[in-house]
């Protein structure tokens, strides 16, 4: 076989210079038939190795029989069924080649996002355990929002996956942007739409912001692939080499790092997120003047122990509110308890599990109330019942009345009459 250089020279000499085939053969030292073949060919010469058989050829029929009935059967299971004893890679290559004939293909369209159109939301769970106090280290969720057009990133660590905390995190990130995306994409997160229908708190949040929440199909992470890939970006570009002392320290470090991440060039768009952000924000809706309802909220009647439980943590309340209805509202950082609009307890929120948070002032008030109650009880016990003329009134046992009126509740041995 001649080289590409000789092939090109033969064609030049014959077609441009008009040199006959016999002379070209003498000049280049090649056979005349080789010259004729070079002139007749449609492209440069290329070495092609003759096809060789494969070990899989002998079992391809068996593979196809299995794929007809089970198109999604893994190659490792196919190898077990057909008794394959050779390289699994060779078998996998053949299965990968013929499987589309039985399972079909599922092409993915390329989506072009318009400014202000969508923001993809997801929870990222970084592997390092974060110290939350009281000797506990927990894996905590991080809410990540990615704007579709600009690819702008924002994130914040939250204390839990409950609806109130997720909505509080969304409001914090959206309020920081200063504008509201027209659509918020979520997966089937239980607090947002685990049953396939947007939950009541999430729907109320979206209505207040004049936006909508769109749920991804079940088991389809590609539906919000932008933020899924960004979770991996955080794993490889933010986490390595970092140590966190608390959730506040995590949020501080990621806030310092995000401007650098949003300044990188995104290959798919050819733009930097922080440079494309103004166009994205301009097409979004304005932030409403009234903040949406967020955070954890509950109403309980304060029990005798004057504590309320929120997310497995007990917080003390002013004991003077015992027996009354109190409203508990928790943000990711604070817990506030009110009664008829009056604040009766305020604590920093504890992210640890099963902890009791006590305000020393509440303990002091409880001690004062308990002392007053004991003194009042003792005074009642010491007070004697007297008739109008001054003589003491006999106090009879209840069982005496059962005997007198024959109620049937009298005991076998009636209690003795006592007097004071």
Percent of the chain at pLDDT > 70 equals 93
> How crowded is residue 268: how many other Cβ atoms within 10 Å of its Cβ?
8
Span 98-140, pLDDT tens digits: 999 998 887 877 888 999 999 999 999 999 999 999 999 999 9
Please identify which residue in the block is written with the tokens 């920081």.
176
Q: What are phi and psi of 100, to 5 degrees?
A: -55, -25
Bridge partner list, 155: 144
Integer Cα distance of 289 and 208 in angstroms: 10
Dihedral sign (CA 258, 259, 263, 269): positive
pLDDT score at 405: 80
- CA dist 274 and 333 (Å) reads 29
Query: What are the tokens at 147?
Result: 């704007």
Which pLDDT tens digit goes with each residue over 183-219?
999 999 999 999 999 999 999 999 999 999 999 998 8
CA distances from 47 to 5, 42, 50 (A): 14, 15, 10
pLDDT tens digit sequence for 395-404: 666 777 777 7
Structure tokens belonging to residue 92: 């996998």
CATH second-level architecture of 118-286? Answer: 2-Layer Sandwich (3.30)
Neighbours of 113 (CB within 10 A): 17
Average pLDDT, the chain: 91
At 388 the pLDDT is: 61
Question: What distance in Å separates the CA atoms of residue 403 and residue 417, rounded to the nearest whole number?
Answer: 13
pLDDT at 85 over 90: yes
The pLDDT of residue 113: 92
Average pLDDT over every residue of 358-376: 95
DSSP 373-415: HHHHHHHHHHPPPB-TTSPBPEE--HHHHHHHTT-S---SSPP
- 386 — pLDDT class (breaks 50, 70, 90): low
Task: Give yes or no for residue 393 having a pLDDT over 70.
Answer: no
Signed CA dihedral, 36, 39, 41, 45: sign only: positive
pLDDT category at 385 given cuts 50, 70, 90 is low
Alpha helices, H only, 133-209: 163-177, 190-193, 200-209
pLDDT tens for 254-287 read 999 999 999 999 998 999 999 999 999 999 999 9
- Stated as kind and residue range, the H or E segment containing 121 is strand 118-124
81 vs 3, 63, 89, 91, CA distance in Å? 49, 9, 16, 12
Dihedral sign for Cα atoms in the order 52, 56, 57, 58 = positive
Closest CA to 118 of 260, 225, 201: 225
Burial of 64 (0-12, 13-18, 19+ CB in 10 A): middle
């Amino acid at each position: 076989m001649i080289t590409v250089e000789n092939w090109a020279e033969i064609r030049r000499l014959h077609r441009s210079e008009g040199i006959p085939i016999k002379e070209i053969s003498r000049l280049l030292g090649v056979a005349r038939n080789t010259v004729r073949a070079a002139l007749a060919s449609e492209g440069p010469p290329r070495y092609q190795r003759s096809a060789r058989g494969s070990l899989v050829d002998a079992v391809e029929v068996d593979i196809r029989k299995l794929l007809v009935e089970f198109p999604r059967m893994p190659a490792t299971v196919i190898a077990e069924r057909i008794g394959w004893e050779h390289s699994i890679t060779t078998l996998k290559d053949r299965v990968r080649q013929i499987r589309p004939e039985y399972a079909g293909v599922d092409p993915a369209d390329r989506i072009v996002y318009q400014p202000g159109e969508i923001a993809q939301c997801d929870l990222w769970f970084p592997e390092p355990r974060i110290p939350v106090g009281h000797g506990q280290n927990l894996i905590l969720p991080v809410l990540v929002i990615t704007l579709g057009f600009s690819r702008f990133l924002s994130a914040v660590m939250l204390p839990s996956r409950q609806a109130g905390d997720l909505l509080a995190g969304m409001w914090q990130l959206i309020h920081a942007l200063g504008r509201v995306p027209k659509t918020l994409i979520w997966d089937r997160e239980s607090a947002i739409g685990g049953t396939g229908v947007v939950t009541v708190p999430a729907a109320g949040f979206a209505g207040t912001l004049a936006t909508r929440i769109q749920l991804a199909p079940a088991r389809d992470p590609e539906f919000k692939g932008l933020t899924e890939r960004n979770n991996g970006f955080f794993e490889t570009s933010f986490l390595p080499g970092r140590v966190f002392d608390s959730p506040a320290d995590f949020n501080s470090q990621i806030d310092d790092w995000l401007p650098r991440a949003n300044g990188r060039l995104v290959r798919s768009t050819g733009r930097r997120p922080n440079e494309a952000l103004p166009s994205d924000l301009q097409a979004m809706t304005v932030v409403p003047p009234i903040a949406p309802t967020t955070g954890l909220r509950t109403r309980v009647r304060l029990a005798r122990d004057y504590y309320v439980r929120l997310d497995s943590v007990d917080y003390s309340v002013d004991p003077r509110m015992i027996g009354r209805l109190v409203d508990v509202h928790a943000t990711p950082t604070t817990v506030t308890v009110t009664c008829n609009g009056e604040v009766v307890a305020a604590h920093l929120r504890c992210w640890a599990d099963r902890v009791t948070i006590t305000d020393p002032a509440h303990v002091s008030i409880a001690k004062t109330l308990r002392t007053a109650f004991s003194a009042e009880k003792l005074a009642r016990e010491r007070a004697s019942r007297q008739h109008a003329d001054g003589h003491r009134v006999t106090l009879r046992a209840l069982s005496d009345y059962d005997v007198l009126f024959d109620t049937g509740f009298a005991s076998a041995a009636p209690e003795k009459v006592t007097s004071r």
